[in-house]
Amino acid sequence: MCDVLQLSRSTYYYEAKEQFKSEDELTDTIIDIFHKSRQNYGTRKIKHELKKLDIVSSRRRIGRIMKENGLVSKYTVAQFKPYLDDCNESKVN
């Protein structure tokens, strides 16, 4: 069929995908999912939740939208405890 219409296959499949009407709708959906997860979900889990809603979006796009809106998962913040002693120096008794 693509040969008859003189279209490339990639163009056909790109147009066949259901696209969002605007970036704002996707942004609102991502923010809603993020807050429903008590600010725990990152890009991978948000992508999985969007897939359940039949919304196709890349992790990079979700990450960009999260960064623009200042959404940071609680688990992505590094938590470490500084050590007071040097690593290779043991105490001599």
| pLDDT tens string 66-88 | 999 999 988 866 667 776 666 66
Q: Considering the entire predicted model, what is its pTM?
A: 0.64
Domain ranges of the chain: 20-76
The two tokens of residue 82 are 């500084």
| pLDDT tens string 19-56 | 666 789 999 999 999 999 999 999 999 999 999 998 88
CB 58 within 8 A of CB 23: no
For 29-55, give the DSSP string: HHHHHHHHTTT---HHHHHHHHHHTT-
CB 44 within 8 A of CB 59: yes
